[in-house]
Amino acid sequence: MATATNTAPSSITFETSPQHYHHWKLDFDGPIATLSMDVQEDAGLSPDYRLKLNSYDLGVDIELADAIQRLRFEHPEIHAVVITSLKERIFCAGANIFMLRGSSHALKVNFCKFTNETRLAIEDASQNSGLKFLAALNGICAGGGYELALACDEIYLVDDGNSAVSLPETPLLGVLPGTGGLTRVVDKRRVRRDLADFFGTTAEGIRGKRAVEWRLVDAVYPTSQFKDRVAKRAQELAAQSDRASAGQGITLGPLNPQVSDDGIAYSAVRVEIDRDKRVATLTVRGPEGEQPSTPDAIIAAGDEYWPLRAFRELDDALLRLRLNEPAIGTVVVKTAGDASAVLGVDDTLLAHQGHWLVREILHFMKRTLKRMDLTSRSFFAVIEPGSCFAGSLLELALAADRSYMLNDPDQPNTIALSGINGGPLPMSNGLTRLHTRFLGDPERVNGLLTEEEPFEADQALEAGLVSFAPDELDWEDEVRLAVESRAAFSPDALTGMEANLRFAGPETMETKIFGRLTAWQNWIFIRPNAVGEHGALTAYGTQKRPEFDFNRT
């Protein structure tokens, strides 16, 4: 009855480091870093397109994400970041159209999701790490280029009579500025909606004084003053940072996973893939051996410190599943190890959350769990004896669409909460997963958080912390049937259902980007008016003009 791609598609990897960058240059000057875009035309992820005019593909954005991440962990001395371009008269032309046109629907969607996460990571660094970002637009800034600028705290545009900011997606390509552009224009920069409407339908964009009056940029400066004004403002921003001017950072070394056709093995994370069933089993192992308990010891452990290591591996595994394993619809989430060791690490993190590195680790764990919330696969947590769903690792079960916990009196099996479930790892709706889970009974959250004892299966069920707790007679069948029946449903309907059920409660700019904006963009990305034979995305850059079915939907 059903068809599936049974082969592993070509693999994309997400690790890089500055010495391997093709497209960005990272310079340091005291508390200021400058991240300069200089896209190498012939170094795209695919040879099918050339990355002209500082246009980008996923590979360019992977480097950007890596740079932001390293600034946080490796460079605590940096307090402000200038994002600019090394090309003459061009800042960035946005996502490469020919790349988009040649991408499958799923790749388009996942490309946008990753670039959105990267821009949100910039805002997260500004909000939570005292790293202020300044977009220095030294030339034309179009589409995704302007969306990158919108993610920065301040935007400065050169006033050379030519350089403009623009969102030409709608008029030129028949799609949306889907990397947060529409949302940030009206919700972050608070551009008036009628001006935003004009801006979003004017391919040539807006420049000069009008760009300032409409709030699209913070200021324009003549070419002769541009560098100095930007440098001065970067110094001012750096001076406002709350980053401790700590000494040296830690180094984020390579993860070196073992990748085979049926899985990926990291040090603390393992992914096993069953292609016939379209199921992956993702297992996170808890910490082993003695763990550092002071900031100095954590710095000494560096990227080998368990929570950083395990969540970096988890992050990498999620990205590989998204991009490289589209046919794997369900992920069974397991943990293995000593729950008290996880809780011990949580205690250390909480005790030192004011320390710059601990702060970075916690925010990174938060971002990784958000990545899980936004991954369009069904997650079922399976809680068995020998697991360690406690504190920070319990978040994996709370992030899952469902959880199953074995209830067998003969085999001890518990879950446990820690203070880390009560605040430091909020979802993109601004609430913890516990608060989101118990929107209907907010009092319960405080009660649960004061519970010091672990929960047996029947207690966990009663407390609402797990979905189901079958006994040993039903366990295997119930879990197997749940996973099997999930695999038979329409993957699109599941994606839509999960995207709605996972984000109860308040909407934030972040959830608006992933909910409202992304959902509309996904719709448009499969409409004939964009991607059909005569669609605008298909016609762009050819001799043909687009032909539309003008009926409104």
Minimum distance, C-beta of residue 295 to a second copy, in the bound complex (Å): 36
> Does 540 participate in binding a second copy (rule CB under 8 A)?
no
Helix (H, G, I), strand (E, B) or coil at 454: coil
Using CA atoms, how far apart are residues 468 and 382, in angstroms rounded to an integer?
Answer: 10
Element (H, E) at 119: helix 105-129
For residue 88, the minimal CB distance to a second copy (Å) is: 31
Binding of a second copy by 8 (CB under 8 A): no
Judge contact between 424 and 368, C-beta under 8 A: no
User: In whole angstroms, how close is the CB of 325 to a second copy at the nearest point?
Assistant: 9
Q: From residue 215 to residue 254, what is the string marking binding to a second copy with x (rule CB under 8 A)? A: x---------------------------------------
Per the structure block, which two tokens stand in for 285? Answer: 């192992």
CA dihedral 166, 172, 174, 175 (to 10 degrees): -30
Query: Is the sign of the CA dihedral 44, 47, 53, 58 positive or negative?
Result: negative
Identify which of residues 140 and 524 has a Cβ nearer to a second copy in the complex: 524
Q: Does 473 bind a second copy (CB under 8 A)?
A: no
Which residues fall within 8 angstroms of residue 304, CB to CB, at 6 or more apart? none
Q: Which of 126, 128, 110 is nearest to 14 (CA)?
A: 110
Q: Of 352-391, which residues contact a second copy (CB under 8 A)?
A: 376-377
Q: Which stretch binds a second copy (CB under 8 A): 36-44, 75-83, 414-422, 525-533?
A: 525-533
Least Å from the CB of residue 404 to a second copy:
10
# residues near a second copy by CB under 8 A: 101
Is 492 a binding residue for a second copy by CB under 8 A? The answer is yes
Quick one: DSSP state of residue 545? P
- Asked if 2 touches a second copy (CB under 8 A), the answer is yes
Residue 43 sits in the site that holds a second copy (CB under 8 A): no
Cβ-in-10-Å burial (0-12, 13-18, 19+) of 42 comes to: exposed
To the nearest whole angstrom, how small is the minimum distance from the Cβ of residue 255 to a second copy? 24
Q: Give the DSSP letter string of 129-182.
A: H--EEEEEE-SEEETHHHHHHHTSSEEEEEESSS--EE-TIIIIISS--TTTHH
Which one of residues 10, 485, 542, 543 is an interface residue with a second copy (CB under 8 A)?
Answer: 485
- The reply to whether 445 sits near a second copy by the rule CB under 8 A is no
Minimum distance, C-beta of residue 507 to a second copy, in the bound complex (Å): 3
Q: Which CB sits closer to a second copy, 91 or 503?
A: 503
Exposed/middle/buried for residue 84 (C-beta within 10 Å: 0-12, 13-18, 19+): buried
Cβ pair 201, 176 in contact under 8 A: no
Annotate 251-276 with three-state secondary structure: CCCCCCCEEECCEEECCCEEEEEECC
Tell me if 278 contacts a second copy by CB under 8 A: yes
**Phi/psi class of residue 24: alpha, beta or left (left: φ > 0; alpha: ψ in -120 to 50)?**
beta
| Of the residues 65, 418, 502, 538, which one makes contact with a second copy according to CB under 8 A | 502
Please report, as residue ranges, which positions from 190 to 219 form the binding site for a second copy (by CB under 8 A).
190-198, 200-201, 215
Closest contact distance (angstroms) between CB of 96 and a second copy is: 19
Q: How far apart are CA 515 and CA 507, in angstroms?
A: 9
- Of the residues 294, 439, 451, 541, which one makes contact with a second copy according to CB under 8 A: 439
**Shortest approach of a second copy to residue 7 CB, angstroms?**
12
Report in angstroms how near the CB of residue 204 gets to a second copy at its nearest: 12
Residues between 89 and 148 that touch a second copy (CB under 8 A): 105-106, 109-110
Residues within window 11-40 making contact with a second copy, judged by CB under 8 A: none
The one among 82, 140, 365, 494 contacting a second copy by CB under 8 A:
494
